[in-house]
Amino acid sequence: MTTYEIVVGIECHVELKTKTKLFCGCAAEFSDDPNRRVCPVCLALPGALPVVNRQAIEYAVKAALALHCEVQPFSRFDRKNYYYPDLPGAYQITQMFHPIAKGGYVDIETTKGSRRIRLNRIHVEADAGKLLHASGGIGGAGGTLADDNRASTPLIEIVSEPDLRSAEEARVYGEKLRTILEYAGVSDVKMEQGSMRCDANVSVRPKGDPVLGTRAEIKNVNSFKALERAVNYEADRQIDLIEDGGSVVQETRGWDDEKGVSISMRLKENAHDYRYFPEPDLPPILLDPERIKGIGLTLPEMPEDRKSRWIKELNLPACDSEQIASSRFSAELFDRTVALGADPKTAANWIMGEWTRCVRVKGIGMETEPVKAEHLAALLGQVSAGKINNKQAKEVFEEMFDTGEAPEQIIQRKGMVQVSDTGALDAIVQQVLADHPKSVEDYRNGRTQAIGFLVGQVMKASKGQANPGLANQLLAAALEAMK
């Protein structure tokens, strides 16, 4: 039986978060009422001339540098000609012949180890508008409406080489790309909202065969999990086809995540079908080395660099470093909290634990900075000073997350204190011992783990305010005295 190898290349469209569109002054804000953010330029009306958005070019360069690409001193726009109702001018302005950046790579880490995925190029292009199919899907639609608010918003397309060898690698590549672009600060990179869209070119070939198989392009994937499922599905489909004596046709397929299948959309066009030609209305983009270098200086410390710094200087475990560095927001929170004097491992545990849990459960964007580093550091300070215990701290943390209040304020408002007063605790300890003669008996018979239950009872009797360490100590002493 033939063993097959999966070959995947990914084309990723990323919306740049500029204030205005790529060639006009319209706000790049398409959540407005339909067709409100439009003008003669982005509607491609005759006589209207485009002007390149400087910020978009700078963001594209920034992304390219973050991905180790060679930024090109000379790049140029081209027209890609085709008709579709979401494309007002019947052409898209993109970069076919002279992209803004070439080469580059993304290092990924999967269950199979680490690999370097090469990039082919990054180019800048204008997005299309949006079609709204009345009453849902295109099939049963009573009609279709065009909304051009999104038309001509700036995109970069990041094209990888066909270096990916599994569905898992495809997912991890997408996630890593998102992390790097989030650090670079050039996009919201939200798959669910379409500001990052990954299309996968999937083919299979007998293992060891140097020739690439015929590929199918999978579109409409709106999460990284879906990307992994879609690649697996497509590879299986192609293998079945070949095993049954058929052959794969080059086509574009749409992924239906609910049904877990891909559906043929159209046979794949070739580049020459689009009659690309240099955009006559725009001059080339010339970038001198000084300017490129200047843009590079605006990049923050990137995830790989942070990771190795934390491992080396803070002794943070590699897996913790990986997890915290995977988002710029957790990374910055961590760095600032530690800079304020918090113990690195404790800060890491809180960010990976409570912070991540609250972000997920409450569905609040981490970019809104729901918990300030000053507050997290202060909270950890309260715990290490013995003012409150860990259980109370979790309650305070959640309140901090919801209200943005400082921990001291919350602790005071809730009247939280940790009972570390030996006298006060001792009274509770004596009561608990008197109430649970069975556990005391167990302990005396050598079942020392009974103390865990008794500590729990002390915590309960003190309404969670007892210092658990001290409670343990007092119980142990009292039990020993009773022997």
For binding to Zn ion (CB under 5 A), which residues are involved? 24, 26, 39, 41-42
What count of residues does the chain have?
483
Closest distance between Zn ion and the C-beta of residue 150, in Å?
11
Closest distance between Zn ion and the C-beta of residue 190, in Å?
23
Residue 321, burial from CB neighbour count under 10 angstroms (0-12, 13-18, 19+): buried
Closer Cβ to Zn ion, 17 or 268, answer by number: 17
d(CA 163, CA 116): 8
* 291 closest CA partner among 51, 60, 15, 119: 60
Amino acid identity at 188:
D
Closer Cβ to Zn ion, 153 or 232, answer by number: 153
Closer Cβ to Zn ion, 41 or 348, answer by number: 41
d(CA 126, CA 20): 12
Closest distance between Zn ion and the C-beta of residue 23, in Å?
8
Q: Check residue 283 and report its DSSP letter.
A: P
Closest distance between Zn ion and the C-beta of residue 146, in Å?
15
Closer Cβ to Zn ion, 30 or 397, answer by number: 30
* 167 closest CA partner among 225, 233, 228, 218: 228
d(CA 470, CA 462): 13
d(CA 240, CA 197): 28
Reading the block at residue 219, the tokens are: 């579109």
Closest distance between Zn ion and the C-beta of residue 25, in Å?
7
Closer Cβ to Zn ion, 127 or 217, answer by number: 127
* Angle separating helix axes 303-313 and 318-325, nearest 10 degrees: 150
Of the chain, the end-to-end C-alpha distance in Å amounts to 73
Four-CA torsion 57, 60, 62, 65, nearest 10 degrees: -130
Closer Cβ to Zn ion, 78 or 148, answer by number: 148
Closest distance between Zn ion and the C-beta of residue 11, in Å?
26
Closest distance between Zn ion and the C-beta of residue 143, in Å?
25
Closer Cβ to Zn ion, 36 or 225, answer by number: 36
263 CB neighbour count, 10 Å cutoff = 10
Element (H, E) at 8: strand 4-15
SS3 285: strand
Q: Which residues pair with 205 in a beta bridge?
A: 5
d(CA 480, CA 475): 8
Closer Cβ to Zn ion, 26 or 440, answer by number: 26
Closest distance between Zn ion and the C-beta of residue 24, in Å?
3
Q: Which residues pair with 124 in a beta bridge?
A: 156
Closer Cβ to Zn ion, 27 or 417, answer by number: 27
Closest distance between Zn ion and the C-beta of residue 148, in Å?
9
